[in-house]
Structure 1
């Protein structure tokens, strides 16, 4: 019985650690994705000398 409880505790801890690692990796990937899109959009706005691409991007996102 003690082995079962120990194994269950190990699996629960392993699951919590994997969940935390997944959340951190997901956050980093989304941050990289949206920062890349922001810089690309900033370049388009700079080239067009207008904020119209920014408004179009906001319309597309909402």
Structure 2
């Protein structure tokens, strides 16, 4: 799988997080893991093989479908 780098948070410092890639079938997202128990309770059960990430809305510019109305 060859991933295409789409961008990183414009306000990110040198860590480059959050970042977004396209692997052809999906978006791969590096973001901030949500650990706040109140937020996780609102989300509900998250399977052990998954995680929940937070990215800022300003990063929507890196998702092509967001601008095309798809």
If each structure's strand is expressed as a fraction of its own residues, which one has the higher value? Answer: 2
Tell me the TM-score range normalised by the shorter chain. under 0.3
Q: TM-score, normalised by structure 1?
A: 0.22
Q: TM-score when scaled to structure 2?
A: 0.21
Higher relative contact order (CA 8 A, sep 6+): 2
Structure with greater helix percent: 1
> Rg bigger for which structure?
1
